[in-house]
Amino acid sequence: MTQTTQHTQTRPAGSAAGALAAADGERPVREHTLALTLSYNGAPFSGFARQPGQLTVQGDVEAALELLFRRPIETTCAGRTDAGVHALGQVVSFDVDDVDIAGRSLPSLRRSLNALTNDAITVREVEPKQKGFSARFDAQAREYHYHLCVDSTAPIFMKDFSWFVPGGLDVSAMEAGAQYLLGEHDFKSFCMAASAVGKPTNRNVREISFHPETVLGENILAIKVVGNAFLHSMVRTIVGTLVMVGKGQRPSSWVGEVLEARDRQAAGENAPAQGLVFWRVIY
């Protein structure tokens, strides 16, 4: 999604010319870029991106912004998340002008947005950015965490935020398999086939690491994946493939074969959406 920028003659804020423009019904000329840091529970949403007739994170946030500023506001996100995927540190940028923000502090704007957006969304920060900042194009890397529940019994507290994989996993084998995915590669095997048609599928994965955690007494294996950008369902397919290795269903070297195949059918299943969290964006 591209941002639109108004190009008009600049006038000093508060000048007579600016007052005359406001009186004539023109929008003021000086623009500002703001960024929101969002956390959301992805369960009620049909993904991040706006879709007609569907509840989406972007659609809900833009509806709240339109109520506040009394005009449509187009947003750009750091990374689109699929239906059911959560976020801790999604970043959304948009442009406003002098009239939009007149008399509004950033804390009051945050409070208003939290009052107007869906209960499954929290606006954690509202920050001023350099004019023209893009949450998407200025991002250097994205970090995702995938949570596996590795207890012998099904989770209660992490049920909606993890994939229950009983029976134990060979984490050393998963770590060995993950080594094949580090660096820049063609990840066509690890994305939804339809989304790869006619599009570049090379990405650079900086890190895949494994972190045992205990959350409310439940044993979780968090898989941290950091890369410059990700294809549709790429992290979930990486996790599903590594879980097959961890279960002993495939050797670690198989991950390299999957990568070389450049065919989605060569990889493992898509890990369930509820275990994935868009953790943060690195700028």
- Give 11-58 pLDDT, tens digit per residue: 333 333 333 344 445 555 579 999 999 999 999 999 999 999 999 999
- pLDDT, the chain, mean: 90
Q: What pLDDT score was predicted for residue 82?
A: 95
What does the buried/exposed string (b/e) look like for 186-222 if buried means 16 or more CB atoms within 10 Å of the residue's CB?
ebbbbbeeeebeeeebebebeebebeeeeeeebebbb
Q: What pLDDT score was predicted for residue 194?
A: 72
User: Which residues, at least 6 apart from 226, have a Cβ–Cβ distance to it below 8 Å?
Assistant: 141, 142, 143, 144, 205, 206, 207, 208, 282
How much of the chain exceeds pLDDT 70, in percent? 89
Report CA-CA distances (Å) from 39 to 6, 119, 139, 280: 30, 11, 18, 10
Q: What pLDDT score was predicted for residue 30?
A: 72
- Per-residue pLDDT of 95-144, as tens digits, reads 999 999 998 999 999 999 999 999 999 999 999 999 999 999 999 999 99
**Position 251: which residue type?**
P
What is the set of domains in the chain, with CATH numbers?
32-129 (3.30.70.580), 141-282 (3.30.70.660)
Mean pLDDT of 229-254: 97
Both tokens assigned to 51: 């879709």
Other beta carbons less than 10 A from residue 14's beta carbon: 9
Q: Specify the range with the lowest mean pLDDT, choosing from 42-46, 160-164, 191-195, 199-203.
A: 191-195
User: Which residues, at least 6 apart from 209, have a Cβ–Cβ distance to it below 8 Å?
Assistant: 223, 224
Separation CA 44–CA 115 (nearest Å) = 18
Q: What pLDDT score was predicted for residue 27?
A: 55
Q: With contact defined as beta carbons under 8 Å apart, do 265 and 241 qualify?
A: no
**Which has more pLDDT, 205 or 1?**
205
Mean pLDDT of 243-251: 98
Q: What pLDDT score was predicted for residue 248?
A: 97
Mean pLDDT of 247-254: 98
Both tokens assigned to 273: 């959406």
Q: Specify the range with the lowest mean pLDDT, choosing from 21-30, 160-169, 230-239, 271-280.
A: 21-30
> Is 146 annotated for ligand binding?
no
Q: Specify the range with the lowest mean pLDDT, choosing from 86-90, 98-102, 192-196.
A: 192-196
Separation CA 73–CA 251 (nearest Å) = 50
Would the pLDDT of 9 be above 70?
no
Q: What pLDDT score was predicted for residue 197?
A: 72
> Which residues are known catalytic residues?
82
Q: What pLDDT score was predicted for residue 13?
A: 38
Mean pLDDT of 193-203: 80
Both tokens assigned to 117: 């957006």
Q: What pLDDT score was predicted for residue 3?
A: 41
DSSP the chain: ------------TT-HHHHHHHHTTPPPS-EEEEEEEEEE--TTSS-SS--TTS--HHHHHHHHHHHHHTS----EESS---TT-EEEEEEEEEEEEHHHHTT--HHHHHHHHHHHS-TTEEEEEEEEE-TT--TTTT--EEEEEEEEE-SSS--STTGGGSEE-TT---HHHHHHHHGGGSEEEE-GGGS-GGGGTTS--EEEEEEEEEEEEEETTEEEEEEEEEES---TTHHHHHHHHHHHHHTTSS-TTHHHHHHHHT-GGGS-PPPPGGGEEEEEEE-
